[in-house]
């Protein structure tokens, strides 16, 4: 029987969650250790800078080329997949996508689903949707399984349970599965293996994501290390793949550099243990594999990002997670602080298109713009540039017609007037002099409390004399 | 309006007035850093595969059935899943008979539905061929078909694969070109680069996540 899976409710703001995360020593240690190691692994996997940069440039061109003909490629993909016997479905919203998946399960009278790791299914909150309809949807990636068992959400797109240590996993398995506690990671994994193998055997339907959908051959390519992806796509009688519309590439050869960029950037591996290329359901004379294969193509705001040539670059993303591994903000606040499916720098630029800036008003500004994310992105998404663009969209007035879903979420007429005043002050020399004179002479009247700044810092006090004054004085004394 | 046409219309509107970007794919970038002299090719593959806990043996092609038997003996395994419709499957069966091997040979000769439970829990090891190897990444290319189904390389805790030395290519791009992949792919083409693994708990590497706990590659040097 299925059970309702509780999900962590995230009601407070990014700011509140960040404060909580920053005060959690264990969490910070878990992330710091993991991110340091992932950064080192990536660096080791690209020993030759010239090779790396050439490959990144090529990766960028391949994705830009695919996006420049996206509607045609999607039609080609659909035609080719259909020819291969894979049924293609289209969904504008996550609700539509869930309905399609549930419909397929219902048509087989299915009650048990196993799922390989899929971020798109997280977008859909598929587990909850299916649970509410009496279908058990079990995560089979070890990290995802751990997170689901604890009623949580993933905190990293590649390493979902990175916020937990072995002690926490041991206790979780003990509490939920009734096994003895152990801090031996191998043993913990073997517990997961045994539990999930039974589920692979019983499942009516397997769900997976897609890393690259190849239009030329009508192929769905999936990468993984565990074998749960292969299990989910091979053992049950039906396989349903869900993916975003931006995952299509033109030619089979295009995946050669993308694959290398993906696995080296994500985990520092030359390749993952399995590269699983699916080009059709079981043929009449074959002995295993699913009888039906479906692909659900999901929009969920992607076409909104696509409409703008600059923001379109967001859709280059191949979901390697390198931007979060290298992000000083992500490393300190962790994935859950972002409160949405995609955390870190990529989350900050893609989430607004999915849920709107009203829901994530702090996303564009939760960055120091240090540029590390853009420097490591394997497909050269200019993340800092896109963050700045989203900051502008975030404060546009309705009259300025924001280009992003719920743009203008942080628009404030008062703040706008204040900046107008500041601009006037700085563009009129006479007024500026008068202001400087007043600010230095009346410095004792400077406010003692200036918003969040003074929560952690002493209040700034203007200097006794302005730089202008000091320079003038210096020159009058005959200084050089 | 259907979801399909809504999505396509929105995308087309976004591209209005633009032309597709040119295809400037540069194969040198994905081949030149990954070229090996013939004598280094096997070594490269071997080194990478061993780095992720694959057991690799190089041997003459006549010797492999005995090696398989020995691998099972040393692990005390009771049975072996094999593909009777393949050349290597027949070779194995002949050896098993002539050498009087004690392990039970189980043929994958019926649909999975007929024996799913047994395949999931009771098979100790499997033997498959391969369609080649890739030196750059230390990978096997598996091309499952009706004779050698896909689950053979996934369910058993020990997977033994045969790899002909002459079928090792330098890199993935070369392999695709040599075997004309874009002209037609099987239902499930696989690259396998080691036994199943995970680092999902504290990034500690553990082998045998959901697929084989052990992968043994037998490189047949004169084949």
Kindly report the three-state secondary structure assignment for every residue of chain B. Answer: CCHHHHHHHHHHHHCCCCCCCCCCCCHHHHHHHHCCCHHHHHHHHHHHHHHCCEEEEEECHHHHHHHHHHHHHHHCCCEEEECCCCHHHHHHHHHHHHHCCCCEEEECCCCHHHCHHHHHHCCCEEEECCCEEECCCCEEEECCCCCCCHHHHCCCCEEEEEEEHHHEECCHHHHHHHCCHHHCCCCEEEEECCCCEECCCCCCCEECCCCCCEEEEEEECCC
Q: What pLDDT score was predicted for residue A11?
A: 61
Interface test with B, best of A88, A160, A286 (most B CBs within 10 A): A286
Domain-embedded: residue B11? no
Asked if residue A157 lies in contact with residue A141, where contact means CB atoms within 8 angstroms, the answer is: no
CA distance A375 to A381: 9
Q: B215 CA to chain A: closest CA distance, Å? A: 11
Which residue has 């390989």 as its token pair? A116
Q: What pLDDT score was predicted for residue A5?
A: 36
Q: What pLDDT score was predicted for residue A468?
A: 87
Nearest chain A Cα to B34, which residue? A51
Asked if residue B86 lies in contact with residue B92, where contact means CB atoms within 8 angstroms, the answer is: no
Q: What pLDDT score was predicted for residue B47?
A: 98
| CA torsion angle A231 A236 A239 A243 (round to 10) | -40
Q: What pLDDT score was predicted for residue A478?
A: 74
CB A279 to CB B192 under 8 A? no
One digit per residue, the tens of pLDDT, for chain B of length 223 reads 799 999 999 999 999 999 999 999 999 999 999 999 998 999 999 999 999 999 999 999 999 999 999 999 999 999 999 999 999 999 999 999 999 999 999 999 999 999 999 999 999 999 999 999 999 999 999 999 999 999 999 999 999 999 999 999 999 999 999 999 999 999 999 999 999 999 999 989 999 999 999 999 999 998 8
Q: What pLDDT score was predicted for residue A1?
A: 34
- Nearest to A223, CA basis, from A150, A275, A153, A286: A275
CB A273 to CB B4 under 8 A? no
Q: How far is CA B188 from CA A374, A469, B74, B161, B167, in A?
A: 35, 77, 32, 17, 20
Summarised one tens digit per residue, pLDDT across range A120-143 is 999 999 999 999 999 999 999 999
Q: Residue A427: which residues within 8 A CB-CB, separation 6 or more?
A: none
Q: What pLDDT score was predicted for residue A392?
A: 97
Residues in a beta bridge with A138: A114
Compare CB distances from B10 to A165, A230, A303 and report the shortest one's residue: A303
Q: B164 CA to chain A: closest CA distance, Å? A: 20
Nearest chain B Cα to A246, which residue? B11
How far apart are the two ends of chain A, measured CA to CA in Å? Answer: 86
Nearest chain A Cα to B144, which residue? A286
Q: Are strands A112-115 and A136-139 parallel, antiparallel or unpaired?
A: parallel
Chain A residues within an 8 Å CB radius of B112:
235, 287-288
CB B211 to CB A230 under 8 A? yes
CA distance A402 to A390: 10
Chain B residues within an 8 Å CB radius of A34:
202-203
CA distance B1 to A187: 53
Q: What pLDDT score was predicted for residue A480?
A: 54
CB B209 to CB A227 under 8 A? yes
The arrangement of secondary structure in A14-304, i.e. its CATH architecture, is 3-Layer(aba) Sandwich (3.40)
Chain A residues within an 8 Å CB radius of B195:
273
Q: A400 CA to chain B: closest CA distance, Å? A: 20
Burial of B57 (0-12, 13-18, 19+ CB in 10 A): middle
CB A260 to CB B29 under 8 A? no
Compare CB distances from A193 to B117, B194, B208 and report the shortest one's residue: B208
Where do the domains of chain A lie? 14-304, 413-476
Q: B14 CA to chain A: closest CA distance, Å? A: 4
* CB-defined contacts A:B, below 8 A: 256
CB A189 to CB B201 under 8 A? yes
CA distance A340 to A400: 28
Compare CB distances from A68 to B6, B12, B18 and report the shortest one's residue: B18
Which residue has 């602080």 as its token pair? A337
Here the tokens at position A322 are 């390198």
CB B210 to CB A201 under 8 A? no
Nearest chain A Cα to B49, which residue? A273
Summarised one tens digit per residue, pLDDT across range A188-247 is 999 999 999 999 999 999 999 999 999 999 999 999 999 999 999 999 999 999 999 999
CATH number of the domain bearing residue B66: 3.40.50.10420
Q: What pLDDT score was predicted for residue A6?
A: 37
For chain A, the C-alpha Rg in angstroms (whole number) is 26
How far apart are the two ends of chain B, measured CA to CA in Å? Answer: 58
Q: How far is CA A416 from CA A292, A394, A405, B38, in A?
A: 57, 13, 21, 69
Compare CB distances from B185 to A200, A277, A299 and report the shortest one's residue: A277
Summarised one tens digit per residue, pLDDT across range B30-61 is 999 999 999 899 999 999 999 999 999 999 99
Summarised one tens digit per residue, pLDDT across range A37-76 is 999 999 999 999 999 999 999 999 999 999 999 999 999 9
The tally of domains found in chain B comes to 1
CB A200 to CB B210 under 8 A? yes
Compare CB distances from A65 to B6, B23, B199 and report the shortest one's residue: B23
- Nearest to A245, CA basis, from A197, A306, A201: A306
Tell me the whole-structure pTM to 2 decimals: 0.94
Q: A364 CA to chain B: closest CA distance, Å? A: 23
Q: B138 CA to chain A: closest CA distance, Å? A: 8
Chain A residues within an 8 Å CB radius of B48:
270
Compare CB distances from A48 to B26, B33, B212 and report the shortest one's residue: B33
CB B120 to CB A234 under 8 A? no
Residues of chain A above pLDDT 70, percent: 97
CA distance A140 to A27: 24
Q: What pLDDT score was predicted for residue B37?
A: 96
Q: Are strands B168-169 and B132-134 parallel, antiparallel or unpaired?
A: parallel
Question: Please, what sign has the CA dihedral across residues B78, B81, B85, B90?
Answer: negative
Q: How far is CA A146 from CA A139, A177, A327, A338, in A?
A: 9, 11, 25, 20
Q: What pLDDT score was predicted for residue B1?
A: 73
ipTM of the complex: 0.97
State the DSSP string of A144-210.
HHHHHHTT---SSSS-TTTT--HHHHHHHHHHHH-PPP---HHHHHHHHHHHHHHHHHH-SEEEE--
Place A448 in a pLDDT band, splitting at 50, 70 and 90. Answer: confident
CB A92 to CB B202 under 8 A? no
Can you say how many angstroms the Cα of residue A368 is from the centroid of all Cα atoms in its chain? 18
Chain A residues within an 8 Å CB radius of B4:
90
CA distance A293 to A282: 9
CB A303 to CB B196 under 8 A? no
CB A285 to CB B211 under 8 A? no
Range of the domain at B43: 36-220
- Tally the residues of chain B: 223
């Amino acid at each position: 029987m299925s059970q309702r899976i509780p999900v962590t409710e995230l009601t407070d703001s990014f700011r509140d969650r960040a404060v909580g995360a920053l005060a959690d020593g264990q969490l910070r240690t878990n992330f710091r250790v993991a991110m340091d190691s992932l950064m080192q692994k990536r660096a080791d996997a690209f020993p030759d800078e010239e090779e790396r940069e050439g490959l990144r440039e090529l990766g960028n061109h391949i994705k830009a080329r695919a996006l420049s003909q996206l509607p045609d490629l999607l039609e080609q993909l659909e035609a080719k997949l259909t020819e291969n016997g894979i049924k293609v479905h289209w969904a504008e919203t996550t609700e539509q996508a869930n309905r399609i998946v549930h419909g397929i399960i219902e048509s087989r009278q299915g009650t048990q689903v196993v799922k390989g790791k899929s971020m798109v299914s997280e977008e859909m909150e598929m587990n909850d949707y299916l649970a509410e309809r009496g279908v058990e949807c079990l995560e089979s990636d070890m990290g995802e399984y751990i997170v689901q068992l604890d009623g949580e959400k993933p905190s990293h797109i590649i390493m979902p349970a990175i916020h937990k240590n072995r002690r926490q996993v041991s206790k979780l398995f003990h509490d939920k599965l009734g096994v003895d506690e152990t801090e031996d990671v191998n043993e913990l994994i073997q517990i997961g293996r045994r539990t999930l193998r039974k589920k692979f055997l019983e499942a009516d339907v397997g769900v997976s994501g897609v890393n690259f959908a190849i239009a030329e051959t009508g192929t769905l390519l999936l990468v993984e290390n565990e074998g749960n992806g292969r299990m989910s796509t091979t053992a049950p009688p039906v396989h349903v793949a869900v993916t975003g519309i931006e995952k299509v590439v033109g030619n089979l050869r295009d995946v050669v550099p993308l694959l290398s960029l993906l696995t080296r950037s994500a985990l520092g591996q030359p390749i993952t243990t399995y590269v699983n290329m699916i080009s059709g359901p079981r043929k009449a004379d074959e002995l295993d594999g699913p009888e039906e294969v479906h692909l659900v193509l999901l929009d969920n705001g992607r076409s909104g990002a696509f409409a703008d040539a600059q923001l379109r670059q967001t859709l280059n993303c191949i979901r390697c997670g390198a931007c979060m591994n290298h992000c000083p903000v992500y490393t300190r606040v962790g994935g859950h602080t972002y409160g949405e499916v995609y955390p870190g720098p990529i989350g900050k630029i893609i989430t607004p298109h999915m849920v709107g800036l009203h829901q994530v008003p702090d996303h564009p500004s939760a960055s120091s713009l240090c540029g590390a994310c853009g420097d490591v992105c394997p497909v050269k998404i200019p993340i800092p540039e896109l963050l700045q663009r989203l900051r502008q969209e975030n404060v546009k007035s309705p009259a300025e017609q924001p280009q992003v879903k719920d743009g203008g979420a942080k628009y404030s007429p008062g703040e706008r007037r204040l900046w107008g005043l500041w601009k006037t002050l700085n563009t009129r020399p006479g007024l500026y002099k008068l202001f400087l004179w007043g600010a230095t002479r009346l410095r004792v009247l400077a406010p003692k409390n200036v918003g969040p700044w003074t929560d952690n810092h002493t209040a700034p006090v203007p200097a006794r004399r302005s730089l202008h004054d000091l320079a003038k004085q210096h020159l009058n004394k005959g200084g050089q | 309006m259907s979801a399909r046409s809504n999505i396509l219309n929105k995308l087309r509107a976004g591209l209005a007035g633009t032309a597709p970007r040119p295809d400037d794919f540069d194969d040198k970038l994905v081949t030149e850093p990954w070229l090996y002299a013939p004598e280094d090719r096997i070594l490269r593959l071997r080194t990478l595969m061993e780095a992720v806990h694959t057991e690799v043996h190089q041997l003459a092609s006549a010797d492999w059935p005995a090696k398989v038997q020995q691998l099972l003996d040393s692990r005390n395994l009771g049975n072996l899943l094999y593909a009777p419709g393949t050349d290597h499957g027949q070779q194995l069966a002949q050896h098993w008979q002539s050498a009087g091997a004690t392990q039970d040979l189980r043929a994958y000769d019926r649909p999975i539905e007929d024996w799913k439970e047994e395949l999931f829990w009771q098979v100790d090891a499997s033997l498959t061929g391969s369609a080649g190897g890739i030196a750059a990444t230390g990978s096997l290319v598996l091309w499952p078909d009706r004779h050698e189904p896909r689950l053979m390389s996934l369910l058993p805790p020990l997977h033994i694969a045969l790899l002909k030395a002459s079928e090792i290519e330098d890199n993935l791009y070369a392999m695709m070109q040599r075997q004309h992949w874009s002209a037609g792919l099987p239902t499930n083409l696989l690259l396998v680069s080691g036994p199943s693994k995970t680092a999902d708990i504290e990034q500690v590497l553990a082998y045998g996540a959901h697929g084989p706990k052990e992968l043994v590659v037998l490189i047949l040097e004169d084949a």
